Structure 1
Amino acid sequence: MPRRSATMLASTLLLIALFCAAVLIKVPYSEMSPGPTYNTLGTQNGKQVITISGRKTYPTSGNLNMTTVEVTSADYTLNLVEAVTGWLRHDQAVIPHSNLYPDNQTEKQAEAQNAEEFSASQDSAKAAALTQLGIPVGTEVVVSAVVEGSPSVGKLHAGDVVVAVDGTKVTDPDQVATQVTKHQPGQDVVFTVIPPGKTSSDLQQVTITTAKNPDTGKAMVGIQPGTEHTFPFAIDINLGDVGGPSAGLMFSLGIVDKLQSTDLTGGKFIAGTGTIDADGTVGPIGGISMKIIAARNAGAQYFFTPSSNCSEAAADTPSGLRLIKVDKLSQAVQDLADIRSGDLSALPACSK
């Protein structure tokens, strides 16, 4: 074989070997890409995303789209070829695996956390929207989570409304621990609860034998009490296969739009993202660069961007998409009024 041919063959075999090695070499990175967007004013799988009963609603137009990202699963790590390809692509982001799944979180644990955050986000979104409209909102104490292996497993459940402990009415989560720790470990404590989806006519008495808290030595039952809001009419958000807290702002805007006579969008296509607190404060989210791509691909003209995410979003904004910096729900409602009036100079812009 001629020397040149031998050299070329050796080089080719070396390249093939290197490529195979790169495919086999795993790197501690995951991939993020633009996910689907959902119009909070529209339907999904034949159902309205937001349904309201017991209160007059009004027609809406246009779009108020929440945005999502797609990520590789917890049990999948990229190989070197996939990581390099992702770094080179505009519509993908390669990030450390631990950023998405801290503390070696499993896929099941990640899904449970996302579902919990999504549920809490819906609760805050409803409260923020009604507060924006001047509609009174109440609160109740609930079981946020049951600790695995604790005395409450199988007796209390996430979502149970805690009405009283040992006959004493509770209106704050801290009161639950106060009542439980009046007991000695091994003594019984009685919870009065309303199971999820039930009403006050379905009160249940649940007796739990306390255990010893290994950290404090005091009595414990093994639940995490929290607070949820109560509303004067039913608001349901029907959106499966979505998790995390980042849709809060857009859910709030969708609820506001349906409950007031003013058509918020004026027929425009607005998308956005951001967590929301019950007082209407908008917070930062992850994956902003992928979400603005998803929004523009869907046809959005404007994008509500949490102020903390503004510089990252402004660094590479898709052509034809206008970023609107937002900190409060009330501000977003005013921004929509400016869009309807055509006064775009009043919109707060994101800067790099």
Structure 2
Amino acid sequence: MNRRLRTVVWGAVPVVALAALVSLDHVPGTDYSLTVPYVAEGPGPSFDTLGEVDGEEVIALEGVEEEDTGGQLNMTTVAVRSQLTLAQALGRWLFSDDTLVPAEQVFPSDMTREEIDRSNQVAFSSSEAAATTAALTHLDRPLVVEVAGVLDDTSASGVVEEGDRLLAVDGKKVERPGAVRDAVLEHEPGDEVTLTLSRGGEEREETITLGESPEDPERPLLGVLMGAASADGIQVDYNLQDIGGPSAGMIFSLAVIDKLTPGALTGGHFVAGTGTIDEDGSVGEIGGIEHKVRAARDLGAELFLAPAGNCSALAGQDTGDMTVAKVADLDDAIDAMDDFAAGREVTTCD
């Protein structure tokens, strides 16, 4: 072997070693992590809220005959890829449209994975509750507060049960989940609140000691996941699993309205969208809007309902033939679908 060849061979060793190193997620033989402190965000799965998933309706109504629907009304999500090696992060950055964001933005360092999962569970449950409330309020139907679940390791566990109806907090009547939250927020962690509950037609009072919210130790936690229920017997069940966060709220609410009103709310078109929902029907902005719009475009959606607060983030986005409507509340979303179906001008993010 001549000197030049030896130089090339030995010079290649550090390059090969570096290539191997950036592909590993830990130092061999140790627990030392070699992953980067970033996560990749990209388009996630999309679900037709008027359709089925795993053989079940995504949104199922009981106690009332569902109206016929048509078209598609898709919620959109963001996929988060974490624990990336340097090679994987560079690959996502160079060869995909994913965005790299600090992991701290998605997984706060002061929270355990279990606390983050619980927070996402609470956010998603709250989104479902707000969606039901907004939909039934839009349709002028009476409501009651119903317990959708109870968090483990809280004072409410073993005392409050799923299906209980929450009638009052500290003697004050409540008819919306938001009213319960407002009453709890008047207290501090460690305070006691008195809940008036109805179970099996019998009323009783229970005293609950408030815990601490995992996001903010100074914020009181009741430990009860609340949903809005129809006072006239309509039950709304959401059957999506392993989806976190509040961004499906608006689409959930529109799907409930569609199932309770004659005619197809979508006008028979493929509509997708995203946005949080408040009990009064206000639509809030969300994260990852560019990925959700791209996913909807690639799936063939004709109309995308985007929160007004997210429109600036879509400047320059390639939406193809898909119309992106600007919506601030449920009325805007319904008007956008009506206008699109009728061939009228739609208020867009442009």
Tell me if TM exceeds 0.5. Answer: yes
Q: Counterparts in 2 of 1:207-218, with a 5 A limit?
A: none
Task: Tell me by how many angstroms 1:223 deviates.
Answer: 3.1
**Contact 1:36–1:67 (Cα < 8 Å) also in 2:** yes
Equivalent residue number for residue 54 of structure 1: 63
* 1:86, distance to aligned residue in structure 2 (A): 1.6
Q: Is the CA contact (8 Å cut-off) linking 2:188 and 2:210 kept in structure 1?
A: no
- Contiguous gaps of at least 5 residues in structure 2: 25-33, 213-219
Q: Deviations over 1:238-276 (max 9, x none)?
A: 222222111111111111212222322222111110001
- Change in Cα spacing, 1:143 to 1:163, as seen in structure 2 (3 Å) is farther
| 2:35 counterpart of 1:9 | no
Letter in 1 for 2:128: Q
CA contact (8 A) 2:156 2:224 kept: no
Structure 1 residue 3: deviation in Å?
Answer: 3.1
Aligned-partner Cα distance in 2 for 1:240–1:18: 41
* Distance in 2 between residues matched to 1:50 and 1:309, nearest whole Å: 26
Instruction: Map 1:327-342 onto structure 2 (within 5 A).
Output: 327-342=328-343
1:350 and 1:247 mapped to 2: Cα distance?
19
CA distance in 2, matches of 1:189, 1:180: 10
After TM superposition, the structure 1 = structure 2 runs for residues 1-352 of structure 1, keeping only pairs within 5 Å, are: 1-24=1-24, 25-72=34-81, 76-133=82-139, 135-140=140-145, 148=153, 152-156=156-160, 161-163=165-167, 168=171, 170-171=173-174, 173=180, 192-194=196-198, 198-199=199-200, 201-204=201-204, 206=206, 223=222, 228-231=227-230, 232=232, 233-343=234-344, 346-351=345-350
Code of the aligned partner of 1:155: V
Give the whole-Å Cα distance in 2 for the aligned partners of 1:179 and 1:5: 76
CA distance in 2, matches of 1:179, 1:328: 31
| Offset at residue 12 of structure 1 (A) | 2.0
Comparing 222-231 with 96-105, greater Cα deviation is found at 222-231
Separation (CA, whole Å) in 2 of partners of 1:248 and 1:20:
44
Task: Find the aligned partners of 1:180 and 1:105 in 2 and give their Cα distance.
Answer: 21
Number of positions where the alignment pairs a residue of Structure 1 with one of Structure 2: 327
TM-score, normalised relative to structure 1: 0.79
Pair 206,126 (structure 1): closer, same or farther in 2 beyond 3 Å: closer
| Letter matched to residue 197 of structure 2 | V
Name the CA distance, whole Å, in 1 between partners of 2:272 and 2:188: 46
- CA separation in 2, counterparts of 1:68 and 1:212? 31
2-structure distance, mates of 1:329, 1:87? 36
Deviation at 1:35, TM superposition (A): 1.5
Q: Is the 8 A contact 1:143 1:223 kept in 2?
A: no
Contact 1:307–1:325, Cα closer than 8 Å, also in 2: yes
**Secondary structure, aligned partner of 2:254:** helix
Contact persistence 2:43–2:295 (CA under 8 A):
yes
Identity between Structure 1 and Structure 2 (%): 36
Q: Report if the CA contact (8 A) 1:165-1:179 is conserved.
A: no
Distance 2:18 2:187 in 1: 65
Measured in 2, the distance between the counterparts of 1:212 and 1:91 equals: 42
